[in-house]
Amino acid sequence: MNSKLIVAVAGGIVLCVPVIPRGEMTTITAADTEDVFQTARRLGRGINLGNMLEAPNEGDWGVRFDDSFPSLIRDVGFDHVRIPIRWSAHLVDPQATSIRPAFLRRVREVVDQCLAHDLRVVLNVHHFNEIHEDPAGQTKTLQNIWTCIAREFFGYPNQLYFELLNEPHGKLTTQQWNQMFPQILQQIRQRHPTRCVIVGPGEWNSHRELPQLRLPVEDRLLIATCHYYHPFEFTHQGAEWLEASPPPVGRRFPASRQEPAYIAEDFENIARWSRRHQRPVYIGEFGSYSKAPMHDRVRWTELISRQAQKHSFSWAYWEFCSGFGVYDRKNRSWKHELLQKLMLNSN
For ligand BGC, the binding residues (CB under 6 A) are 126, 166-167, 285, 318
- Closest approach, Cβ 171 to ligand BGC, in A, equals 18
How near is the Cβ of 179 to ligand BGC at its closest, in Å? 23
Write down the least CB distance from residue 208 to ligand BGC, Å.
17
Give the separation between CA 115 and CA 159, rounded to whole angstroms: 7
- Minimum CB–partner distance for residue 181 and ligand BGC (Å): 18
Q: Write down the least CB distance from residue 266 to ligand BGC, Å.
A: 17
CA-wise closest residue to 281 among 263, 269, 294: 269
Least distance from C-beta 218 to ligand BGC, angstroms? Answer: 30
Contact 299, 267 (CB under 8 A): no
What is the Cα Rg of the chain in Å?
A: 19
- The distance from CA 207 to its chain's CA centroid, rounded to whole angstroms, is 14
Is the CB of 36 or the CB of 270 nearer to ligand BGC? 270
- The total of other beta-carbon atoms located within 10 Å of residue 24's CB is 8
Tell me how far apart the alpha carbons of residues 64 and 57 are, in angstroms, rounded to a whole number.
10
Our CB check for ligand BGC shows the closer of 90 and 192 to be 90
Q: Which is nearer to ligand BGC, 50 or 193 (CB)?
A: 50
247 versus 280: smaller Cβ distance to ligand BGC: 247
* Cβ closest to ligand BGC, residue 177 vs residue 318: 318
Nearest CA-CA partner of 190 in 155, 162, 150: 150
d(CA 252, CA 257): 12
Q: Closer CB to ligand BGC, residue 78 or residue 318?
A: 318
First to last CA, the chain: 41
